């Protein structure tokens, strides 16, 4: 894959202004900041101007320091947007007038300061209020192109219940699961526990209880018997009112990256996530705080590699995705690929699996960032 990235439009009077948007209100705030640091470091400053905008834990949009060195995991502590602002400098505002892409800094008691005219937004946001279609909807109203999936695909990719429903409707195999809705647990907890116990009778223990709309393995509990269910449900409810209960799928964890090219989506070489030695599953600690490297490329047959790449592109198309996706599969003991989920804004540091898979496919990290920006610049907002 040696195709060169598209250059900025000829005759342009200035470099395109990229707004890197990160942080957010979800439990994945810190991982988003880490991702933003890597993206800021990789963007070609001779080709693009950059404006880093952070979203605080309470949802304020603020102008932050353009300092990737402060956006790293240090001593197992996650960085925060609040640490990147030296003082309360007001709020960053993007107009919802599609004829005006001006970004301004609004400070109380002073005249708004124009920060630039946004050409594209790179929303390196994970979880609710960022990766779930909310920010994408705002950018659609604003008429500003952005990296990644649109409103519908982002919403589907965030809600694991509807993601699985879409996959099933397109003939993609998914594992057994139950959905527990907020009113069910509120008004009939005994009935919910009985339903889960019946599910376990059919598929066996352990079960995995997880928030329906969270990521980075946050809020997930492995439950090995009936006595651990209530605590697991309460833990999941700390992050989402709707939860999923999934049966264990025995097999290997295989991931595959999908990237949008001018002629359509293509899949990377796949990777395998080895089972962690200390954790019961590939949890947050294993993903971000421990050394659990993936194997790239995965040790698969040529036929298996071709099949998982085909299925990854099929999942991308089924959910109407754009830009990028990491598709996660199980290769069962019977030799079947079963899709677990997609991530419309996957972990995106240079050591994350998505960039590693594309590195092994011939596209380095800086080139990958550039291709995503160029794909976004080629697209228009609105129905497409």
Domain boundaries, the chain: 17-148, 157-174+249-344, 177-247
| For residue 305, cis peptide bond before it (omega within 30 degrees of 0) | no
| Helices (H) then strands (E): counts for the chain | 11, 16
| CATH of 177-247 given 3.20.20.70, 3.40.50.10070, 3.30.1490.20, 1.10.1740.10 | 3.30.1490.20
Could you tell me where the beta strands, DSSP code E, fall in the chain? 17-23, 49-55, 61-63, 91-94, 102-106, 113-117, 120-123, 177-180, 207-211, 221-223, 243-247, 251-261, 264-267, 271-273, 324-332, 337-343
CB 5 within 8 A of CB 48: no
Which of 150, 126, 116, 223 lies closest to 180, judged by CA?
223
| CATH of 17-148 given 3.30.365.10, 3.30.70.3450, 2.60.40.1240, 3.40.50.20 | 3.40.50.20
Lookup result for tokens 């376990």: 200
Q: What pTM, to 2 d.p., does this model score?
A: 0.89
Q: pLDDT (tens digit, 0 to 9) for every residue of the chain, 384 residues total?
A: 434 343 444 444 589 999 999 999 988 899 999 999 999 999 999 999 999 999 999 999 999 999 999 999 877 688 999 988 866 678 999 999 999 999 999 988 789 999 999 999 999 999 889 999 999 999 999 999 999 999 999 999 999 999 999 999 999 999 999 999 999 999 999 999 999 999 999 999 999 999 998 765 788 999 999 999 999 999 999 999 999 999 999 999 999 999 999 999 999 999 999 986 544 555 545 454 444 569 999 999 999 999 999 999 999 999 999 999 999 999 999 999 999 999 999 999 998 999 999 999 999 999 999 999 999 999 989 988
What phi and psi, each to the nearest 5 degrees, are found at residue 17?
-95, 120
Topology given in CATH for the domain delimited by 157-174+249-344: D-amino Acid Aminotransferase; Chain A, domain 1 (3.30.470)
The C-alpha atoms of residue 276 and residue 255 are separated, in whole angstroms, by 16
Specify which residues 222 forms β-bridges with. Answer: 208
């Amino acid at each position: 894959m040696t195709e060169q990235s598209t250059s900025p439009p000829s005759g342009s009077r200035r470099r395109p202004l990229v707004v890197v948007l990160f942080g957010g209100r979800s439990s994945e705030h810190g991982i988003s900041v880490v991702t933003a640091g890597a993206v800021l470091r990789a963007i070609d400053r001779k080709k693009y101007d950059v404006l880093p905008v952070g979203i605080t834990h309470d949802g304020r949009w603020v102008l932050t320091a353009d300092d990737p060195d402060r956006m790293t995991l240090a001593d197992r502590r996650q960085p925060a947007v609040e640490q990147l602002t030296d003082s309360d400098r007001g709020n960053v505002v993007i107009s919802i007038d599609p004829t005006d892409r001006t970004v301004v800094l609004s400070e109380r008691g002073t005249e708004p300061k124009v920060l630039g005219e946004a050409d594209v937004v790179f929303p390196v946001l994970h979880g609710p209020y960022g990766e779930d279609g909310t920010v994408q909807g705002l950018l659609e109203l604003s008429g500003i192109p952005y990296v990644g999936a649109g409103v519908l695909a982002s919403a589907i990719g965030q809600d694991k219940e509807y993601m699985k429903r879409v996959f099933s409707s397109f003939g993609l195999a998914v594992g057994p699961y139950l959905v527990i809705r907020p009113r069910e647990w509120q008004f009939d907890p005994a009935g919910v526990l009985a339903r889960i116990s019946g599910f376990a009778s059919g598929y066996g223990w352990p079960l995995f209880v997880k928030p329906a709309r969270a990521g980075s393995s946050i809020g997930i509990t492995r439950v090995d018997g009936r006595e651990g269910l209530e605590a697991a449900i309460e833990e999941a409810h700390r992050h989402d009112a709707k939860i999923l209960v999934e049966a264990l799928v025995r097999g290997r964890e295989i991931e595959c990256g999908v990237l949008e090219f001018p002629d359509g989506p293509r899949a990377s070489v796949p990777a395998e996530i080895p089972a962690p030695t200390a954790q019961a599953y590939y949890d947050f600690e294993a993903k971000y705080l421990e050394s659990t490297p993936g194997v790239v490329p995965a040790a698969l047959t040529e036929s298996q590699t071709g099949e998982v790449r085909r299925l990854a592109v099929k999942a991308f198309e089924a959910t109407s995705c754009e830009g990028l996706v990491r598709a996660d599969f199980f290769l069962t003991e019977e030799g079947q690929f079963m899709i677990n989920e997609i991530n419309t804004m996957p972990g995106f540091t240079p050591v994350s699996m998505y960039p590693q898979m594309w590195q092994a496919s011939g596209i380095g990290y800086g080139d990958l960032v550039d291709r995503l920006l160029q794909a976004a610049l080629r697209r228009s907002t609105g129905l497409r």
